[in-house]
């Protein structure tokens, strides 16, 4: 059985789609999967079982990446095509069955689950290898709780002020997580490093993991943390999928749709939808409540 799974260019949406993939792998353990995604998202699927191939879609002018995908997939008769992008490609290649995203409302994982008529929606997950877990063990201490802080995002209005991340960390170590050490997570590139630098300066004892990890390594590290606190971002969704207690910080984006989805998650929303109006007290209260459950 051959399955084509067309997923997102963005890390967060790709992570959210892993619940569907896990369901399909369980349901069809002999199937071979081809994943189509953007370059940022490809690491999400690097350790996925039953993955035969990943087709990386680099965006091209005039949407010419879509003809590239058609050329790569049209010669196969697919048993199932799942397209969370809602593109026309699923209808332009031979397939015995298709599940194509349509416009829906509600939590994103429920929108995705509706593609395969799944209720309740399967939770996102991460796939890691022993070498990822070994790397995580060398980077994070085993004898102290680690608080993961993710101060970056792909849009400046989603970013909580770095001094409030630092203040929240101190409140947590004075309360529910005594002796904790901070670990600062961010993606690769100059822009991510620039956004993370003020927090690293405010918490010089931090473990600096900015731009140093592959997606599976980041997932393995996040799985070892006592708490994750971060802006609405791909890292937030990765932390929730990895099983870390995850607090997502929201302002102008829709928490009803994109709140973290996992076994222990919560979202806190700025009262004015402006991140500067989200207080440390509000975030601490939500974090403490999450840690109690």
Tens digit of pLDDT at every position of the chain (293 positions): 999 999 999 999 999 999 999 999 999 999 999 999 999 999 999 999 999 999 999 877 757 788 999 999 999 999 999 999 999 999 999 999 999 999 899 999 999 999 999 999 999 999 999 999 999 999 999 999 999 999 999 999 999 999 999 999 999 999 999 999 999 999 999 999 999 999 999 999 999 999 999 999 999 999 999 999 999 999 999 999 999 999 999 999 999 999 999 999 999 999 999 999 999 999 999 999 999 98
Rounded to 5 degrees, what are φ and ψ at 268?
-125, 135
| Last residue within a domain, chosen from 57, 83, 116 | 116
State the DSSP code for 287. H
Give residue 152's pLDDT: 98
Dihedral sign, Cα of residue 172, residue 250, residue 8, residue 86: positive
Kindly state whether residues 139 and 112 are assigned to the same domain: no
- Please report whether residue 88 resides in a domain: yes
Same domain, 254 and 148: yes
**Residue 245 included in any domain:** yes
Q: Which one of 116, 140, 157 terminates a domain?
A: 116
Answer yes or no: are the C-beta atoms of 7 and 84 closer than 8 Å.
yes
Pair 104, 224 in one domain? no
- pLDDT for 62 equals 59
pLDDT score recorded for residue 59: 78
112 and 153 together in one domain: no
The residue among 116, 144, 167 that closes a domain is 116
Domain-embedded: residue 122 = no
In CATH, what number is assigned to the domain containing residue 232?
3.40.50.2000
Could you tell me whether strands 227-231 and 146-150 are parallel, antiparallel, or unpaired per DSSP bridges? parallel
Residue 125 lies in a domain: no
**Any domain includes 124:** no
Based on the fold, state whether residues 148 and 234 are members of the same structural domain: yes
Q: What is the per-residue pLDDT for 74?
A: 96
Are 74 and 148 part of one and the same domain? no
d(CA 260, CA 33): 26
Distance, in Å, from the CA atom of 182 to the CA atom of 142, rounded to the nearest integer, reads 13
Identify whether the C-beta of residue 182 lies closer than 8 Å to the C-beta of residue 207.
Answer: yes
Distance between CA atoms of residues 61 and 55, nearest Å: 18
Distances 70 to 57, 74, 91, 116, 276 between C-alpha atoms, Å:
11, 6, 10, 23, 45
Range of the domain at 241: 130-292
What is the total count of domains within the chain?
Answer: 2
**Residues 99, 151 within the same domain:** no
Same domain, 244 and 135: yes
């Amino acid at each position: 059985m051959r399955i084509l799974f067309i997923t997102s260019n963005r890390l967060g949406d790709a992570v959210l789609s892993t619940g569907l993939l896990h369901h399909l792998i369980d349901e069809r353990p002999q199937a071979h999967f081809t994943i189509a995604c953007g370059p940022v998202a490809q690491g999400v699927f690097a350790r996925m079982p039953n993955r035969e191939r990943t087709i990386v879609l680099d965006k091209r002018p005039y949407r010419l990446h879509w003809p590239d995908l058609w050329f790569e997939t049209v010669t196969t008769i697919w048993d199932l095509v799942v397209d969370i992008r809602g593109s026309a490609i699923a209808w332009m290649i031979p397939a015995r069955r298709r599940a194509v995203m349509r416009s829906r409302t509600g939590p994103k994982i429920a929108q995705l689950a509706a593609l395969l008529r799944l209720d309740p929606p399967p939770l996102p997950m991460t796939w890691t290898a022993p070498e990822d877990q070994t790397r995580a063990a060398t980077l994070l201490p085993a004898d102290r709780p680690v608080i993961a802080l993710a101060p970056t995002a792909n849009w400046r209005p989603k970013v909580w002020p770095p001094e409030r991340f630092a203040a929240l960390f101190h409140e947590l170590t004075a309360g529910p997580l005594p002796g904790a050490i901070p670990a600062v997570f961010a993606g690769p590139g100059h822009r991510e490093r620039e956004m993370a630098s003020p927090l690293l300066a405010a918490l010089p004892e931090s473990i600096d993991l900015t731009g140093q990890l592959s997606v599976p390594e980041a997932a393995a590290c996040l799985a070892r943390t006592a708490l994750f606190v971060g802006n609405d971002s791909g890292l937030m969704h990765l932390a929730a999928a990895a099983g870390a207690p995850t607090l997502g910080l929201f302002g102008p984006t829709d928490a009803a749709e994109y709140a973290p989805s996992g076994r222990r998650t919560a979202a806190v929303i700025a009262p004015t939808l402006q991140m500067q109006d989200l207080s440390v007290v509000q975030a601490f209260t939500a974090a403490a409540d999450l840690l109690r459950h």
